[in-house]
Amino acid sequence: MSAKQYDEIRAVLEARKRELNERLERITANVRRGLQADSEERAKEMEDNEVVDALGNEARDELARISLALSRLDAGDYGVCTQCGEPIDRKRLAAYPFAAECIDCARDDEIRGSRPV
């Protein structure tokens, strides 16, 4: 990949990171508001918080992947599968810029039951 392509990927990852951080801030603010709600609304709030929590975990999970992808960009081993060392397909990187594994290894992970990256 050319330096320009790396720059583009970095820009996509940084933008996504900002978006996720903003989402997490909103989620945290919602949870805080929920905790301040009076007891009548408590049951409903708790339900909402569970949903909010799941969303928060998803965002945190993706943020962690993005951070790893950015550090791989810095290290110069971005786009190489962390499992088998083969280059990751360009189309896959376009769809999942934070992918750490090639499609074959991600599929193997899925079969083994761990989450594909």
Residue with tokens 């708790």: 46
Which stretch, 12-20, 30-38, 41-49, 95-103, contacts Zn ion (CB under 5 A)? 95-103
Q: CB 33 → Zn ion: shortest distance, Å?
A: 44
Which stretch, 20-28, 31-39, 48-56, 80-88, contacts Zn ion (CB under 5 A)? 80-88
Query: Which tokens sit at 40?
Result: 């009548």
Distances (CA, A) of 1 to 4, 78, 85, 116, 117: 8, 10, 16, 24, 21
Nearest to Zn ion of 63, 102 (CB atom)? 102
Where does residue 116 rank: exposed (0-12), middle (13-18), buried (19+ CB within 10 A)?
A: middle
Q: CB 92 → Zn ion: shortest distance, Å?
A: 11
| Residues 98-117, interacting with Zn ion (CB under 5 A) | 102, 105
Three-state secondary structure call for residue 80: strand
Q: Does 84 bind Zn ion (CB under 5 A)?
A: yes
Contact residues toward Zn ion (CB under 5 A) are: 81, 83-84, 102, 105
